[in-house]
Each structure stands twice: as C-alpha cells, then as structure tokens.
Structure 1
Amino acid sequence: MSDTVFRVDAVLTGVVAPLGDNGKQSAIGKVPVDRRVWLGETGLDGDEQAERKHHGGPEKALLHYAFDHYAVWRDEWSMPRDGLTRLDTCGAFGENISTLGMTEATVCVGDVYRMGGALVQVSQPRQPCWKLNLRFERDDMSRRVQDTRRTGWYYRVLEAGEIGAGDTIERLARPHPGWTVERLLRVLYVDRDDRGALEGMANLDTLTPSWRATASKRLASGKVESWSSRLDTPVSQKQDT
C-alpha cells in the first residue's frame, strides 16, 4: 500500500467492568469484534465509556493506537507478568482501531480519512490517564505513555458508516502537514514554553477546542497546567498493602 492508504487490522469495543483491585468502573478493556460495526458521531455501536466527561463524545469518537508500538513496549519496559501479557494482542491501551504503519510521527491533526464506510478526521492526541496504571499494574504507566509520546490519537466522525477489520484507511486531505500528532505532544509536554508553537497550536482550526484553549491559557498565564490528577493513581484505587 502507499503512504496514504493503510489497513484496519482490528476494530475493538469494550463494556464497563471493574478495573483494579478496588473495582474502579472502566471500559478500557477493548476486544476485537468479528463483524462490521456502525460508527456514529459519538463512537462505535456497543462501545461503552464509564465516564463520559473524559471519554467518548464527538471529539473522541474513535481511539486509534499503533500496533507498531507493542513490540517496543515489550522490549524496553519491564512489567508484572499480567501487565506484559496484555501486550500479546491489541486492545491493551483501550484502542478502538489497531493498525500497522500509522504512528504519531506520520499522522497529522486535521487529516481526513475514508475508513471503510465512514469518513473521519484526526481531532487530537490522546492524553493518557491513571487507569492505564491499573490496567498494567504499574503506578507510572500513564506517565510513561505520556513521556514516550506513544499515546494514540482520536477521530471525530464527519460521515457515519460501517467499519470492520480488513477495511482500507485512505487519507483524503491533510490541511496541516506541519502539525503531526507527535509535534502537538511535544508542544504540550516537552517544549512547554515555546510561545511560537503555542500560538500556532491555539490557531489550528481542526484541533479540538479544549486543546486550543489549553494553548491559549498557557500563553496568557505563562504557566503549565498540572497533570497530576490525570496521571497519578488516586490513593483510593491503589492496591492494599
């Protein structure tokens, strides 16, 4: 395939279920489906979210994670056996779409793709949260995902339709070729006081409004927002010792 056409290797959905020793409700556990699935404005039929405030919705209708990263995780990152086993198959990071060949370095915000019978647009990078810590049994897993910038990214749905494993993903438009997902992540987490980059980010018309607002607030205040409540496992959810 060309560098603008890729293949859906798996479409995944999940249901709300207890996560971790203390039973936090989450639908981060996604499994491949063996049928075609309707993708609507707010996500896939049958795909649940426990906390709608932070997951799902029009700007986070579909989470894509590169299966390319799985081998890297296995090679570089020691984990408890249960956590490592999760890397045997796709779905470990709560993704809805699994592919090879598309990564944060090659996908840009605003990219428009024909994915099976649907039309989707890259809306924002994924911001990892502490539920990854529970899923992988590591208190630092969410920070590791953020620090490596192997986060995945979200789509908004421009045209609803059915999608399934084996479908092609064809890029139809790239309005912001200079703004890869990886670059956005660098601006947010690494080059945090680069005012020129923040101004550019604040003016990206296809970027999710909340991300643009973050850039604007940082420019106005000169301060970087705290990430601890998103990344650090609450005491109430940590394993009893």
Structure 2
Amino acid sequence: MTAFLVSELRIGQIRPLGPNGVASGIFKHPVTGGVMAQTLGLQGDAQGDTRHHGGPDKAIHAYAACNYPRWATDLPDLMPHFTPGAFGENLVVQGADEADIALGDQWQIGDALLEVSQGRQPCWRLNLRFGRPDMAARVQGTGRTGWYFRVLQAGMIAAGDTATLKLRPHPDWTITRVSDLLYQDCLNTEALAAFAALPGLTESWRMLAQTRLSTGTVESWSRRIETPA
C-alpha cells in the first residue's frame, strides 16, 4: 500500500468537554481549501492539554475511516457517534488503517512531507467524548488508535489530497504491531529491545521500552485511561 486519500481535513479550537467542562481540542470541524501543516500542527488547530497532546511528535492525528463501521458494529447503541471527526482526528483517511501504516513512513500530502511518529495513546477524554467509562480502554485494546505525524516539510494540505509514500524505513513496525507490543504482548523482551533501538522513535516510547526491559514490569495505564473522579 503506497497511497491513501485524505477524505476530510479537520481543525478545532478548545471547548469544554464532559459534565465538568474539561478543556479539550477534540471537537474538530471539516475545512475546505488548503491549510498549512507546520511543525506544531495544522494552522488554526488547538489542543486542550499541551503536556500530553500536540507538540512536534504529535502534530497531526490521522484516523482510518474504515474503523467507524467497526465501532458501530461493536457498540451499536453509539452508532450515530461513529462518524468522521469522532476521535478528534485532523485527517480522515480512506484506503489505509493501522495495519498499513508503519513507524517512520514518510508521506507526501499536498505540499507537506509528513512522517509517522507514533500511534495514539488513548486517554480518558475519549470516555467523556462517548459517554462510556471504558472507551479509552476499548480504543487501546482494539488497536484502532489512529496515528500521529510529525511535519518534516511544512506545506499546504487539503481534503481530497492523495498521500504518496516516499520512504518506508521500518516496514515491519506497523501501528498494529506496535499496539500489540505495548498493550498485549507487553513483556516480549526481544521485541522491546528491537523497538527501543528504532531510529527516529519518540523518546517517550524509547524510555517506556527501556523501563520495561530494565524492570520486567509494565507501567500503569490507569491515570491515562481512567476518568478522574
């Protein structure tokens, strides 16, 4: 798979989320025309928690459109919610999912050159978004996380652009495989060592893998996926 379609491009500003009005940038609206992709993301886009969201390694979030009907099958009571933008994505992708995208992939989209940096690590804001206390855990468990791009070359991108693969240095390290290592086969030492040695891996993931290798334990996910009281 060497190409996919960006069927929608979405940006959003910070709005209150959930009963306590948590600041969040998860609400994204579709944009027609070109938008500049820069080091910190799409022009006009914002994140509510810049400690854990955004930044150069999480500049643009992409999500596979084929995941929406999968969610609707799993959770039919929430079917109306599973539409483009449901997960706070910037790019709605047609023709590829997490099994088709690998860490380090470089994709030309419009005038911009983007590089796949990591998969999304779902957080409890998804629980508020969908009104389910286990939604973040479900996203993590299914591997339907989407993925992040860093921006190697700034440029204009737009809905309707075709993404073209320019470089694939780590074809074996798909987002699906990484999710399996991080959340299923968590203490596979051989895989963790290979993962930690990948050139271009985000430092947070390298440290995570190295910590598992040195301690023989898996970090707690509760603060990330469980909604605060």
CA distance in 2, matches of 1:181, 1:222: 23
Structure 2 counterpart of 1:63: 61
Selected match of 1:127 from 85, 108, 121: 121
> In structure 2, which of residues 175, 181, 186 is the aligned counterpart of residue 187 of structure 1?
181
Q: CA deviation at 1:100?
A: 1.5
Deviations 1:171-212 (A, max 9, x none): 011000111111111111111110000001100112211111
Residue 115 of structure 1: how far off its partner (Å): 0.8
CA distance in 2, matches of 1:193, 1:75: 31
Which position in structure 1 is the counterpart of 2:200?
206
Deviation at 1:106, TM superposition (A): 0.9
Corresponding position of 2:150: 156
2:96 — aligned with what? 102
Q: What CA distance in whole angstroms lies between the structure 1 residues aligned with 2:139 and 2:42?
A: 24
Specify the alignment match of 2:161 in structure 1: 167
- Partner Cα separation in structure 2 for residue 28 and residue 102 of structure 1: 22
Percent of matched pairs sharing the same residue: 49
> Letter of the aligned partner of 1:106 in structure 2?
D
Question: Structure 2: 5+ residue runs without aligned partners?
Answer: none
SS of 1:187's partner is helix
Instruction: State the SS of the aligned residue for 2:73.
Output: helix
Contact 1:84 1:136 in 2 (8 A): no
**Counterparts of 2:33 and 2:53 in 1: how far apart (Å)?**
24
User: Partners in 1 of 2:32 and 2:172 — Cα distance?
Assistant: 36
Query: Given the two structures, how large is their TM-score scaled by the length of structure 1?
Result: 0.93
Q: CA deviation at 1:78?
A: 3.7
From 79, 86, 108, the equivalent of 1:84 is 79
Deviation at 1:85, TM superposition (A): 2.3
- Cα RMSD of the aligned pairs, angstroms, is 0.9
What is the aligned partner in structure 2 of residue 53 from structure 1? 51
Gap runs ≥5 in structure 1 = 236-241
The residue number in structure 2 matching 1:176 is: 170
SS in 2 for 1:144: helix
> What is the aligned length?
229
One-letter identity of the residue aligned with 1:75: T
Q: Are the aligned partners of 1:13 and 1:32 in contact in 2 as well (CA < 8 Å)?
A: yes
